Amino acid sequence: MNYEIKQADKFKFIEEGEGEPLMLLHGLFGALSNFADLIEYFRPHYKVVVPMIPLLDLDLLHTSVGGMQKHVQKFIEYRDYKDINLLGNSLGGHMALIHILKNPERIKSLTLTGSSGLFENGMGDTYPKRGDYEYIRKKAENVFFDPAKATKEIVDEVYEITNNRIKAIKIIALAKSAIRNNLGEELNQIKQPTLLIWGNNDSVTPPFVAREFQRLIPNSELHFIDKCGHAPMMERPEEFNQILHKFLTKLNEPAAVH
């Protein structure tokens, strides 16, 4: 399914459907394909918005999780979205957390899946070896429970990025900024209903990270998906979409009167 990438001012984004905004923030190697099933499922019910985050296009000084969050904030203000259901995967979850802590007023709910912000096994102890296709393929496979999900397209895309010296430096800068930016002390300030959807076999942000998020975020619920790695919306889209849909529907139900 090809979606039109819209451009307004300096922002590029996808916007499909009508209604309350459901905004999706992708991770470090995130592409639109990560959210294809999610966009397709939710666009009859919500205005699904995917901003293209300029992860590798900002100058090095602004190549940080905070720098990316500022881009998201400016985009939200420019488009004047309100009552946003904000969803982030991996580094996108980290951006969503920083955003909700700094600018909670336009956010209605938060969904995190495989989010950084507490702990992650980034590239492990070894940073991307330029020109080593096999290494990149193994790293890409490591993201999924089923290694076959790391298609040649995905591996080629990551390989192309890491093989470019400037981009590789920026990826390392972002990964280090994510590790430095630990939000453990602040998560208790989040007031919005929060949904955590985690792969039971996530080796990047393992299940104990999800439990810690649930412990620290007051109004949160946690769902694990079996046989699933770091990107549940790609690997187990049907289960992911059902859990998310149920959560969002519940938010819009009138509170029961006792």
Cβ atoms within 10 Å of 121's Cβ, excluding its own: 14
Instruction: Read off the pLDDT of residues 1-60 as tens digits, 9 standing for 90 and up.
Output: 678 899 999 999 999 999 999 999 998 877 777 899 999 999 999 999 999 998 888 888
Is 137 among the domain residues? no
Is 142 among the domain residues? no
Is 170 among the domain residues? no
Closest CA to 225 of 208, 212, 238, 209: 238
Is 53 among the domain residues? yes
Examine the pLDDT at 165 and tell me if it is beyond 90. Answer: no
Is 198 among the domain residues? yes
| Number of structural domains found in the chain | 1
Is 147 among the domain residues? no
Is 44 among the domain residues? yes
Instruction: Read off the pLDDT of residues 193-233 as tens digits, 9 standing for 90 and up.
Output: 999 999 999 999 999 999 999 999 999 999 999 999 999 99
Q: Which long-range contacts (C-beta less than 8 Å, at least 24 apart) are formed by 186-191?
A: 186/101, 187/97, 187/213, 187/216, 187/217, 188/216, 188/217, 188/218, 189/101, 190/97, 190/100, 190/101, 190/104, 190/110, 190/217, 190/218, 190/219, 191/104, 191/218, 191/219
Q: Cα(93)–Cα(87) distance, rounded to whole angstroms?
A: 7
Is 107 among the domain residues? yes
Q: Cα(223)–Cα(211) distance, rounded to whole angstroms?
A: 10
Instruction: Read off the pLDDT of residues 123-159 as tens digits, 9 standing for 90 and up.
Output: 444 555 667 898 889 888 989 999 999 999 889 988 8
Return the CATH number at 209: 3.40.50.1820
Residue-range definition of the domain harbouring residue 57: 6-120+182-251
CB 148 within 8 A of CB 82: no
CB 22 within 8 A of CB 85: yes
Q: Which long-range contacts (C-beta less than 8 Å, at least 24 apart) are formed by 131-138?
A: 131/163, 133/159, 136/162
Closest CA to 88 of 99, 77, 78, 76: 99
Examine the pLDDT at 257 and tell me if it is beyond 60. Answer: no
